[in-house]
């Protein structure tokens, strides 16, 4: 009996040991992360650190300290905007009631040439009396401003140094939403900081400045004031963007940051280094985005493109045969989704260049060639879409009147303007819902001129299903709109 008890005890100990072994193996199985199919196929291992990448790119990112006279912001008057602001360093020292004669700014920059050329934001150095550049090896240089371009918010500096570490510019057109990125800069002046994230979106426009030439990469990598002018790099260590703005209700990072794409920066930087200024091409049109209703009215298969609502007389567009109501869908082989893409595609082209434009007119595609002029003004009119649609009395909820010479003079319209004036809009009617405003001049409906109230009624009384395409003149500016009667 005693031997049996001993054997039973031995069996129990053995079972306990096996159970412990199984538990250990179970934990090991739970903690082990299976490789993805792609990793198994390629033999790659999971990325656990970007330290080697950071050690390569960080020496090329510098801190920029500027000294300037106290003045009101010009290019970016959004330092105190609680909803949308750039993140340039604080310009007003704390604890002082009055602005000093000189204030300090802190930003970032990227060395793009071993001979001392540095790329940064225009707003980092705008109005600076003195610019200091601090390298990661603690050397400090006084920088010369080579050139600055407010519309793109880019600037180039030059320091007297040689054999500097640099970042190679990548191809931002090849960047994909979801790509992993690192943001490197000096947030809030605390010292160089690296944050990580992904590319959240492309071709963003925030309109913080004048909205002229914006084509931002959006990222959720944490960036704050002082990161302006710093680097956004991909996992190959290439510079794909210059950090420029954030969207934030508090002024701190909430994961919505914007960087100027490297291809735009490369073009601007090259011109600033070679000539100190930037030349941009001009097509000579104002445009508006395509909505679903507009696409239906215009016979488009896709809701994309730039609708031409005005053609400048004597412009490259007019010479090429572009007409009001055309939809530009492609420039030099590049698809155009909206007016912002059209403007950037034209502006990045050398003046004097002939470009092929694919357009849709009356539902039929065609192609024209335009030889671009040089843009002289600060920005090309962008014809941003505003809601405003005409309608006739009755079911459209508005009243109209013939455009007399007296009314034309009252509204400061050219004598050549012809159409019907909107005199009153029912706030609960279809016209108001569409955005019609009093004093709009209805010039055409579905391409047919409307110079009298009777012509307007005839043009729109048979609107059923597909919305009518209406051309209005609002304070001297032409605008295409769509109009549906109330349901």
Among 172, 205, 212, 228, the active-site one is 228
Q: Cα(440)–Cα(475) distance, rounded to whole angstroms?
A: 8
User: Measuring CA to CA, which residue among 111, 167, 103 is closest to residue 139?
Assistant: 111
* 446 conformational bin, left if phi > 0, alpha if psi -120 to 50, beta if neither: left
User: Measuring CA to CA, which residue among 120, 119, 88, 118 is closest to residue 104?
Assistant: 88
462 is catalytic: no
Q: Cα(221)–Cα(82) distance, rounded to whole angstroms?
A: 20
Q: Which three-class secondary structure state does DSSP give residue 234? A: coil
Residue 210 · residue 197 · CB < 8 Å? no
- Cα distance between the two ends of the chain: 97
CA-to-CA separations, 175 to 47, 236, 362, 441, in angstroms, rounded: 20, 12, 35, 45
Q: Cα(393)–Cα(283) distance, rounded to whole angstroms?
A: 38
Residue 182 · residue 195 · CB < 8 Å? yes
Among 123, 126, 244, 338, the active-site one is 123
User: Measuring CA to CA, which residue among 411, 407, 389 is closest to residue 456?
Assistant: 389
Residue 65 · residue 82 · CB < 8 Å? no
H or E stretch covering 109: strand 102-113
Residue 430 · residue 396 · CB < 8 Å? yes
Among 126, 153, 215, 220, the active-site one is 153
Tokens of 14: 């053995």
Q: Cα(371)–Cα(317) distance, rounded to whole angstroms?
A: 8
153 is catalytic: yes
Cβ-count burial 44-72 (b if 16+ within 10 Å, e if not): eeeeeebeebbeebbbbbbbbbbebeeee
CA-to-CA separations, 160 to 115, 143, 314, in angstroms, rounded: 8, 8, 47
Tokens of 148: 């600055």
Tokens of 409: 């003079």
Q: Which three-class secondary structure state does DSSP give residue 255? A: coil
What positions carry a catalytic annotation? 123, 153, 228
């Amino acid at each position: 009996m005693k031997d049996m008890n001993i054997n039973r005890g031995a069996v129990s100990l053995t079972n306990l040991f096996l159970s412990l072994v199984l538990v250990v193996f179970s934990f090991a199985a739970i903690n082990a992360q299976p490789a993805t199919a792609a990793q198994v196929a390629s033999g790659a291992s999971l990325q656990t650190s970007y330290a080697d990448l950071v050690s390569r790119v960080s020496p090329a990112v510098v801190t920029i300290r500027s000294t300037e006279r106290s003045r009101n912001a010009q290019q970016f008057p959004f330092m105190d905007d609680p909803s949308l602001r750039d993140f340039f360093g604080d310009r007003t020292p704390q604890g002082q009631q009055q602005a000093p004669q000189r204030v300090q700014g802190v930003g970032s920059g990227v060395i793009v040439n071993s001979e001392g050329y540095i790329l940064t934001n225009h707003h980092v150095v705008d109005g600076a009396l003195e610019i200091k550049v601090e390298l990661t090896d603690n050397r400090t240089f006084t920088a010369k401003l080579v050139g600055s371009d407010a519309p793109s918010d880019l600037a180039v500096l030059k320091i007297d140094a040689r054999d500097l570490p640099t970042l190679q510019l990548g191809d931002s057109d090849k960047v994909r939403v979801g790509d992993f990125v690192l943001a490197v800069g000096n947030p809030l002046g605390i010292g160089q900081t690296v944050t990580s994230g992904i590319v959240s979106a492309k071709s963003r426009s925030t309109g913080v400045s004048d909205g002229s030439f914006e084509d931002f990469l959006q990222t959720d990598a944490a960036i704050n004031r002082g990161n302006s002018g710093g680097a956004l790099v991909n996992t190959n260590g290439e510079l794909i963007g210059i950090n420029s703005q954030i969207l934030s209700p508090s002024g701190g990072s909430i994961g919505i940051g914007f960087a100027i794409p490297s291809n735009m920066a490369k073009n601007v930087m090259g011109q600033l280094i070679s000539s100190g200024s930037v030349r941009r091409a001009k097509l000579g049109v104002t445009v508006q985005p395509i909505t679903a209703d507009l696409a239906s009215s215009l016979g488009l298969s896709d809701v994309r493109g730039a609708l031409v609502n005005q053609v400048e007389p004597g412009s490259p567009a007019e010479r090429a045969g572009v007409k009001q109501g055309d939809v530009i869908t492609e420039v030099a082989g590049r698809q155009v989704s909206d007016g912002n893409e059209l403007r950037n595609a034209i502006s990045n082209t050398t003046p004097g260049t002939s470009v092929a434009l694919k357009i849709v007119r009356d539902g039929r595609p065609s192609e024209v060639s335009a030889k671009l002029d040089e843009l002289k003004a600060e920005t090309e009119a962008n014809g941003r879409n505003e809601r405003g649609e005409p309608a006739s009395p009755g079911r459209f909820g508005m009243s109209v009147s013939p455009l007399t010479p007296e009314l034309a003079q009252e509204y400061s319209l050219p004598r050549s303007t012809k159409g019907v004036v909107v005199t009153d809009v029912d706030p609960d009617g279809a016209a108001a819902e569409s955005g019609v405003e009093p004093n709009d001049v209805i010039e055409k409906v579905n391409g047919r001129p409307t110079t009298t109230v009777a012509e307007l009624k005839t043009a729109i009384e048979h609107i059923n299903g597909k919305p009518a395409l209406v051309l209005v003149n609002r304070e001297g500016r032409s605008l295409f709109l769509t109009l549906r009667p109330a349901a």
